[in-house]
Amino acid sequence: MFVSRGLVMGFTVAMAGLVLSGCGTRLNKAPVEDRGTSISSAPAQAGQPGVVVGTPIKPLPGAENAGKPGYYTVKPGDTLIRIGLESGQSWKDLARWNNLENANLIEVGQVLRVVPPTAAVAATAVASDNGVVTRPVTSSTVAPAPAASATSPASAPKPPASAASGTVVAVAPATPAPAAAPAGEDDIAFIWPASGSLIAGFDEARNKGFDIAGKAGEPVLAAADGRVVYAGAGLRGYGNLVILKHNNTFLTAYAHNQSLLVKEDQAVRKGQKIAEMGNTDADRVKLHFEIRRQGKPVDPSRYLPAR
């Protein structure tokens, strides 16, 4: 059968076009985005486009302080407000101590300072490679010598000598009376923040404070003198919330309010009306009240008067 040369050449050109078209489809790969996060030290392998070898991951802020006393590593679901409540600090203080330009932007794994950067009065600053560590000042083990007359050294009492051997018998120096200890920060006379009946007691695992019954709009009172470190609804599960800081040891929290009557950084007095009872983020009208000692929830019955 006779086949024209033109027909053969046309068929050959068509087949070549199909082959090239198929090859072109297989070579179109999805672009690889290089974020510069690979820390692999192995040599690059052929056929592995987009792999950046030896590029270190940028450490999160404060990573060098992870695990140190006075620092906190951010976990999933954390907010600065919650970290402040659980560390006994104001969220604004945390933002300032950690130079956070936006308090809403914290990352899982980031390490935050949760104690003031200045050392306590009764601590000595000890230099370290990564900052300053505070160490309590301990008293000297050397017993104080008895006071002697400044004008006549000879008038100082002499230790008695043994008549038989002539050896000197040591006399223990007089121990000065201990100074009266200053009033501790535990000495706060809390009052009940609401007059209703107790409907749920403290349970460290399930209820971190007291639930107090009441009617919508009833007054919520400051349990002690303090300063408002938070007033808002930014902490899930607490509704409209007020947090008061009373000293370096104690915070109190007042949750589920209908309305808030104080603002952050405002000083309040014990018994002052700070909110009105409500049921925000709750199944009924009630006040959820917490006392936190150094950020840890404690049983309010240990601090509130009997009634």
**For 228-262, b where at least 16 C-beta lie within 10 A, e where not — what string?**
bbbbeeebeebbbbbbbbbbeebbbbbbbbbebbb
> Which of 24-33, 76-85, 141-150, 189-198 has the weakest average pLDDT?
24-33
- Output the pLDDT for position 210: 97
Whole-angstrom Cα distance, residue 92 to residue 114?
11
Q: What is the pLDDT of residue 55?
A: 56
Q: Is residue 83 predicted with pLDDT exceeding 70?
A: yes
131 or 223, higher pLDDT = 223
Pairing of strands 240-245, 131-136: unpaired
Residue 283 or 186, more confident: 283
Confidence of residue 185 (pLDDT cuts 50, 70, 90): low
Confirm if 111 and 98 have CB atoms less than 8 A apart: no
Asked if 39 contacts 57 with a C-beta cutoff of 8 angstroms, the reply is: yes
Q: What percent of the chain has pLDDT over 90?
A: 53
Report pLDDT for 59: 79
Q: pLDDT per residue over 11-32, tens digit each? A: 554 454 444 444 433 333 333 3
DSSP 176: P
Single-letter residue type at 57: I
Mean of pLDDT over the chain? 74
Looking at the DSSP assignment, which residues form a beta bridge with residue 245? 227, 251
Q: What is the dotted CATH code of the domain comprising 198-302?
A: 2.70.70.10
Question: Could you read off the pLDDT of 47-60 as tens digits, one per residue?
Answer: 444 445 555 677 78
Residues 134-156: b if buried by 16+ CB within 10 A, e if exposed: beeeeeeeeeeeeeeeeeeeeee
Element (H, E) at 92: helix 91-97
What is the domain partition of the chain in residue ranges?
A: 56-135, 198-302
- Classify domain 56-135 by CATH number: 3.10.350.10
